[in-house]
Chains A and B, each alone.
Chain A
């Protein structure tokens, strides 16, 4: 067990290294706080690094995230702990003791230069979860080109050395830098921190929950995140938008509000990213016929409606009440009821669903560890006018980003800085 004893009030734990966690860490580090930034994945950057572009200005997402990621990696005040999970928290505001389980990467971050030579010889081929299973990876892998930290990790659940006890050394032999170390062990890290910021983000509604929208992971019905990876220049198709049979779609439909009824709320960003997909699709396939199925358009704030107006002529907008999806001879059949109560049918090559945003997997477990409450939907925090949005209900623990509920990047960043502000005011 590693023990890091320093003055608790000079140290802060940030859980979740997406855009909100990164922002909070940088703001805290600028105030000379030592920040431990804990991330469960082998890479950091959260959901934003899966996107090619961000609405409404269609800026390159990587160009927005990467400089901040580099700042984190180069900042001596920030220690990024990947493959790590918070296991236990004791104490109180100003003096928390935190236990973190840190899984071994089996690749030395000091020695590895990210040349990728070790992937090729690995005999295991798997579906790449980062690519929403649209691409393949090996048992030693980086999730996508450009992932940071720029060093692979070994997936011990699939590496034959760990699953079958085979003496496979192919990756180690391929490494010129002696960066692969099978003897690394999982660690437990104990930290002393004065405050904690939770920025664990969101997930999209589970594929099973959206199966009644025709999603089965095989037919040409895609989730929003799958669409993001299909368009991504560092994605499995290098940005070529193709169907599962590698053909280009001649028609596509975006469907908003998928799972909204089940979730019981509007996920705030789906209308906007569905408009973004109009841009994606028309950019790559100018001839494609597009249909945008919505129930209410939600584009709050000063900049979103102009974005919609700029794109609305490129698609047919259909306001639906009830909608069902069936698979029909390789096509996707959409049966819906229009606002005027007419039953209609439309066949398209591709359907892109906008599933509800739900609390990140493991949110309940984390809430238990932290001793903070969740609302009826599983998000953290309180929707009370009398409290700051970032308050968790437990002093010294603050919240930022989609752990509070669905919202756009701008709001998440503001919450991250607000949470950092709360921490700085508390710890001085």
Chain B
């Protein structure tokens, strides 16, 4: 098939001198001579600087003048100027995917001091590009219609913040919360560090804005049952309480489903659930919220021990916020119970950032004792709780445990529903921890807040607004989405339906068609990574700009 198609090629080959960079490092005349006789080559020329305005004009005119069907440019790295020369192709009326660059500068001229060797290598690279480009077929960048509405799953601080930033008269937001109330963990804290603001005030001000916003529909007691489709065109099924499931069309999904806390009863050393007056931080928050911090006998505690890093060893990571939560608890206990003595037992104080240290120092100076210890063991003794820390003993009325943050119970379900993999700590995985902290490998699905790992309120808000920012910039009402042109294809006749490609696709772009027993590529989702083409045992999956023939011809010429 491919062979028959390449008969009528007219390939233009152009070598850029790049000033002295390429011209001095190799014998360009010999390169021209070597490629001139190759099959389908219609014209071979050299030019002083092809990326200059004059060079670009010259090249576009050459394409028209010689009625070229394909183009080879021997110049710098494609990273530098591939986009430039693809633009020139369009200028000359040629499909830009019919051009191939040979990197004569970075890969040869700049690293090969011997002119003879450099020339020889350049000839191989140029010939390889010519042989390869003969098999290039035109590719099209497609545009698809999209829906700008957004589904936000999770109505905690992150979900609420994202919804508020996203809503506008031409963008509807559906905010789905599994509980009957919005607000999440923050609404259950009376105070937040470091400014000791009231959690409920923060969530209530957002609740008020949500209610006033006609472009946001809040669904409480609701669960997302199904998500189909892709970026710009998702169809989601949501069931609210006992009612019939509803279907929405949205362009993007923000996952802000939060996290849970580690259950300390799994660890014998803390005696949680067995020893009286050993409570977790959320339990103390609840007491505080109700305005009654008391022991089981109804009396106020006179001494409190706060234990950090509960479950850290088991989880294998630091939960980031617990030290500051412990300090915050010290603050309000001192305020509510004058004269209470507080001791914090920690391994390493983790108080990153420009304000946490002052928050810690003020608390310490106001009388909270901080004890650095490797391990603690709690036991009951004479109506008190005995804390054994590295062999030393202390007795207190009440112990507050700071449990690790762990993935929410339904993380696996969400992971399956949206195709986002679980990774470190079993949290959902970002596209890239550093440069893609809120995007995922499924285009159009974003992460915000503790769903991707332990985070402060501040960082959760930041992430939710980042997810909103990404959506505002990529999913503009009325604008079409451009798809990747260099995608993979699966040949219907060659595919055996083994589904190997499904397991290696990072972008959930491959679907198995039950009725036909074959796999198909969704061109909108495919990013052209080529994993499927490499993995396919029957040669059915092919990357359209790295076909076996293209690669074979190119490599053969390099190795010749």
Contact = CB atoms under 8 A, between A and B. Distances in A.
Interface of A: 19, 23, 27-28, 30-32, 54, 56-57, 59, 64, 66, 68, 70, 74, 111, 113, 115, 117, 150, 176-177, 260, 264-269, 296-306, 309, 339, 375, 377, 379, 383-386, 388-390, 405-411, 413-422, 424-425, 428
Given A303-B433, A422-B465, A113 B18 contact: yes
Nearest to A268: B352
Nearest to B205: A386
B295 interface: no
B352 A113 contact: no
Contacts of A424: 469, 472-473
Given A113-B18, A421-B465, A424-B473, A301 B438 contact: no
A130 to B, nearest CB: 21
Nearest to A384: B195
B317 A23 contact: no
B435 A413 contact: yes
Interface string B243-265: 00000000000000000000000
A169 B116 CA distance: 33
B316 interface: yes
Interface residues of B, number: 70
A184 to B, nearest CB: 19
Max chain B Cβ within 10 angstroms of own Cβ: one of A115, A264, A267: A115
Contacts of A265: 353-358
A422 B165 contact: yes
Contacts of B168: 425, 428
A300 B352 contact: yes
B257 to A, nearest CB: 16
Contacts of B476: 31-32
A375 B317 CA distance: 31
Contact of A410 (B351, B356, B434, B474): B434
B536 to A, nearest CB: 27
A256 B245 CA distance: 56
A161 to B, nearest CB: 23
Nearest to B436: A413
B391 to A, nearest CB: 13
Contact of A177 (B19, B320, B454, B467): B19
Contact of A386 (B19, B202, B372, B433): B202
B463 interface: yes
Contacts, number: 206
18 contacts: A31-B474, A113-B18, A265-B354, A265-B355, A266-B353, A266-B357, A296-B350, A302-B424, A304-B318, A385-B197, A385-B202, A385-B457, A409-B435, A410-B435, A411-B462, A418-B466, A421-B468, A422-B465
Contacts of A59: 434
A388 B79 contact: no
A93 B462 CA distance: 21
B453 A302 contact: yes
B161 interface: yes
B473 A31 contact: yes
A408 B175 CA distance: 30
Contacts of A428: 168
Contact of A68 (B195, B435, B463): B435
A117 B195 CA distance: 57
Contacts of A306: 316-317, 424
Nearest to A75: B83
Interface string B188-201: 00001011010101
A31 B477 CA distance: 11
A269 B470 CA distance: 26
A420 B438 CA distance: 14
B472 A425 contact: yes
A417 B470 contact: yes
Interface in B517-532: none
B353 to A, nearest CB: 5
